[in-house]
Structure 1
Amino acid sequence: MIFVGLLIAVPLAWTAYLSVTDSQGSVRAPSSFVGIANYLKVLGDTDRYWPAVLRTFTFTGGALAAELVLGMGIALLLWRPFRGEKWVRVAILLPLVATPVAVGMMWRLIFDPNIGFANQVLRWIGIPPQPWLSGQATALPTLMFVDVWQWTPMIVLILLAGLTSLSEEPDEAARIDGANAWQRFWFVTLPLMRTTVVVAIVLRGIDALKTFDILYATKGTGGGSFHEVETLNVYAYGLSFDYNDYGTASTVLILFFLLIIAIMWMVTYRRKGNRS
């Protein structure tokens, strides 16, 4: 535990230190203490920082909502035994075992506006080709779809584990009382699954907030020519490795870290409030 704690504390402390300096060019180059100047500059940046914040939470919220709904639906389908269920589970889990960079490159080819398979399918059914990843308005929703395709299996695994641990007696009692399938799910299964659902939301939500590889693999530096998919992670990466502005990049990362801590605290506080 001490070793793991040091792995977290030392880089975090170093990043916090860089955030109050004007470190540029190299982290070993001489730098000066600037206090909260970097924080004021970043928080006042309405061209790159705040749009990146909005994209980060739009991407996370949209992808997480879709993954939760689809994950619950698939988990419910896999809950009861059926013929060939093992093969179906293996097929559902296949996207999860692929590396995000490979997934990003694969979907980049599929959504290519000229030779991509997606537009070929649209042409077959009489729909005009779409820009997908190359469009300013379509790039972020397209990448949200890619994220849903890859990470819904993770939600399925968590929710399916929760479903298999439930007792069948409450569901049978509701069935005897005349409740239909939707009523049994909404008033019996879902309340019993509340803790598991919260765990799935927290784990996948934090992971989605940190998404970088798919975005960078498909759109490259800056999240595209017009920064259409530039989230906080992509923005901080560009500041660090493209412009070597380590002071500003560290400030963005510390603010991002504080946002994640605040979200975790609110979720935990709400869970305690619901229990009381």
Structure 2
Amino acid sequence: MPAVTAPSRAPRSASVMPDTPGWARWANDHRKWLFAAPAMAFVAALIIFPLAWTGYLSLTDSSGSVRAESEFIGFQNYVDVLGDTDRFWPAVGRTAAFTGVALFFEVVLGMAIALLLWRPFRGEKWVRVAILLPLVATPVAVGMMWRLIFDPNIGMANQVLGWLGIGPQPWLAGQHTALPTTIFIDIWQWTPMVVLILLAGLTSLSDEPQEAAMIDGASAWQRFRHVTLPLLMPTVIVAILLRGIDALKTFDILYATKGRGGGSFNEVETLNVYAYGLSFDYNEYGLSSTVLILFFLIIIGSMWALTSRRKGADR
């Protein structure tokens, strides 16, 4: 009996007629990119045009109005901003402090809460709903709510301290307490987002390594340190990347709680608040654009560092 051979699969381009023009064959081979090209071009235009315009304004002395005549002054704005030790560099320090402290506590608390929610228990759904409630409100609404809670005269926070025999605190009104208070507000609202990311990573882990560690007699802490955390590290890096970039750009909570300039003594003035003030309070569009370009470079550098760390974790 003659051997039966399976028909070989025709190449992808075989469905195109032999007499089809070359450009049609090329379009058929690259159709997935051609279909996505309009959307990619639109998104690129939305990113490139504002960035290019901001970069151009940073090289001019534009002020008063964006339609007013301005002169090209090169990198003089960058020299002025980088030499500003009164507002720019303190704003950089506050931005770094706000982002670093908030991110640290959000990741630590998010990890603890995610581990508690990892295993099923009675009332689990209600607990998850309660934890996610801070994400429902907008940051401006959250800022206004906590501004009332931390009010030195009528705020609930000082009333609770009074019941405990502790004197009233300035909270948002104090020069040295305003930044820690706004960091607390950010932690309260955005820790649930970290919980969601880490909980998704935990539920995707296999139970076999945990069971093997338990058989070997490893304690709960040892299983977390040597099994769970290494397996979860790529997800942790993703959470740090997403939340870190978002924390760097925080504006609404700070402006809702302290107003223009980040307070009377610029106590919570980060780079976002500083750039906003230069644009809309002083109409210094050239200087404001310079601050935004430098801020953009800081964000890009942070993304590159965290992405490199994630690649190392994946290996």
Instruction: State the TM-score, normalized to the length of structure 2.
Output: 0.86
One-letter amino acid of the counterpart of residue 244, structure 2: G
Aligned-partner Cα distance in 2 for 1:126–1:230: 33
Which of 287, 296, 301 aligns to 1:248? It is 287
Give 1:270 deviation, angstroms.
Answer: 3.1
Q: Which amino acid aligns with 1:260?
A: I
For 1:48, give the aligned amino acid. R
Cross-structure match for 2:249: 210
Counterpart pick for 1:13 among 20, 39, 52: 52
Gaps of 5+ in 2: 1-39
Matches within 5 A, 1:1-276: 1-274=40-313
Alpha-carbon offset, residue 275 of structure 1: 5.0
SS at match of 2:70: coil
TM-aligned CA deviation for residue 274 of structure 1: 5.0
Amino acid aligned to 1:130: Q
Identity over aligned residues, as a percent? 78
Q: Deviations over 1:53-106 (max 9, x none)?
A: 000010000000000000000000000001111111011000011100000000
Larger RCO: 1 or 2 (CA < 8 Å, sep 6+): 1
Alpha carbons of 1:73 and 1:273: their partners in 2 closer, same or farther (altered >3 Å)? closer
Task: Kindly provide the amino acid, as one letter, of the partner of residue 246 in structure 1.
Answer: Y
Q: Which amino acid aligns with 2:79?
A: L
Larger radius of gyration, structure 1 or 2? 2
Counterpart residue identity of residue 65, structure 1: F
Who is 2:14 aligned against?
A: none
Q: Which runs of 4+ in 1 moved over 4 A?
A: 273-276
3-state SS, counterpart of residue 24 of structure 1: coil
What is the aligned residue count? 276
Q: Per the alignment, in what secondary structure is the counterpart of residue 201 of structure 2?
A: helix
Question: Aligned-pair RMSD on alpha carbons?
Answer: 0.8
Question: By how many angstroms is 1:268 displaced?
Answer: 2.1
Could you give the per-residue CA deviations for residues 213-260 of structure 1, whole angstroms, max 9, x where no partner exists? 000001000000000000000000000000000000000000000011
Q: Can you give the 5+ residue segments of structure 1 that lack an aligned partner in the other structure?
A: none
TM-score by length of 1: 0.99
Distance 1:223 1:189 in 2: 41
**Letter of the structure 2 residue corresponding to residue 29 of structure 1:** A
Q: In the aligned structure 1, how far is the partner of 2:146 from the partner of 2:312?
A: 42
CA deviation after TM superposition for structure 1 residue 271, in Å = 3.3
The code of the aligned residue for 2:188 comes to: W
The aligned residue for residue 29 of structure 2 is none
- Once residues 68 and 113 of structure 2 are traced to their aligned partners in structure 1, the CA distance between those partners, rounded to angstroms, is 53
SS at match of 2:134: helix
